[in-house]
Amino acid sequence: DAGVIQSPRHEVTEMGQEVTLRCKPISGHNSLFWYRQTMMRGLELLIYFNNNVPIDDSGMPEDRFSAKMPNASFSTLKIQPSEPRDSAVYFCASSLGGELREQYFGPGTRLTVT
Amino acid sequence: QKEVEQNSGPLSVPEGAIASLNCTYSDRGSQSFFWYRQYSGKSPELIMFIYSNGDKEDGRFTAQLNKASQYVSLLIRDSQPSDSATYLCAVAQGGSEKLVFGKGTKLTVNP
């Protein structure tokens, strides 16, 4: 079975540009999570969806970040405008939903903003 | 602020030894606990989860949970060089899907 799919795997962009990261969760999973990982702050939850509805976006750093989940098999995380401090690895994870459910991670997108 | 603390290491053990990784958490309402392994440049991979006090064994891995002490650990028996990675502890509060991750412990198993 295919795991969580993310694209692109690497993104290099200039400050001020718009960046869109994409995620396809595991088929049948009802919850989707966006994380950011940096050396300084570790792995942080940005936002998560359940049944395509955003449940908690308290980890979204600022208004430059937005996320959507138009259907059960696709989600985007957008940064506009991007800044050098947004450079990080962004992971998408999915789970069957509900508490006591394991999350499975995608391969991540390494974002570099110059 | 809910926190999950791990010794950053590095923890170095010889091949064949037992590696012991520890994690403490601040939220007494936490109900589910996970251990992820992350190789350098790769994504976190779930290796163990535990929901009840006590021990849970899976192959060479044993997770131990003590909710009274707010402590969860991972033991790796017969450590192999392929176990060398960063191990992330993650905790979810009861009723929530949100995971709070520790910053991880880097383990090196020396041949």
pLDDT tens digits, residue range A17-33? Answer: 999 999 999 999 999 99
Look at strands B45-50 and A19-24 and give their pairing.
unpaired
Rounded distance, CA A25 to CA A6, Å? 9
The pLDDT, as a whole number, for residue A21 is 98
Q: Each residue of A41-94: pLDDT tens digit?
A: 999 999 999 999 999 999 998 899 999 999 999 999 999 999 999 999 999 999
Chain A residues with CB under 8 Å of B97 CB are 31, 33, 48, 50, 55, 95, 97-99, 101
The pLDDT, as a whole number, for residue A79 is 97
Q: Each residue of B34-73: pLDDT tens digit?
A: 999 999 999 999 999 999 999 999 999 999 999 999 999 9
Q: Three-state DSSP class for A103?
A: coil
The pLDDT, as a whole number, for residue A1 is 64
Nearest CA in chain B to A98: B97
pLDDT score of A2 more than 70: yes
Average pLDDT, chain B: 94
Rounded distance, CA B51 to CA B94, Å? 10
Q: In whole angstroms, what separates CA A11 from the centre of its chain?
A: 14
**Chain B interface, best mutation among A33, A103, A109, by max B CB count within 10 A:** A103
Residue B82, phi then psi, degrees to nearest 5: -70, -10
Q: Each residue of B74-84: pLDDT tens digit?
A: 999 999 999 99
Contact B97 A95 (CB under 8 A): yes
Residue A107, phi then psi, degrees to nearest 5: -75, -15
pLDDT score of A97 more than 90: no
pLDDT score of B1 more than 70: no
Other beta carbons within 10 angstroms of residue B57's beta carbon come to 12
pLDDT score of A99 more than 80: no
Report residue B10 as tokens: 């590095």
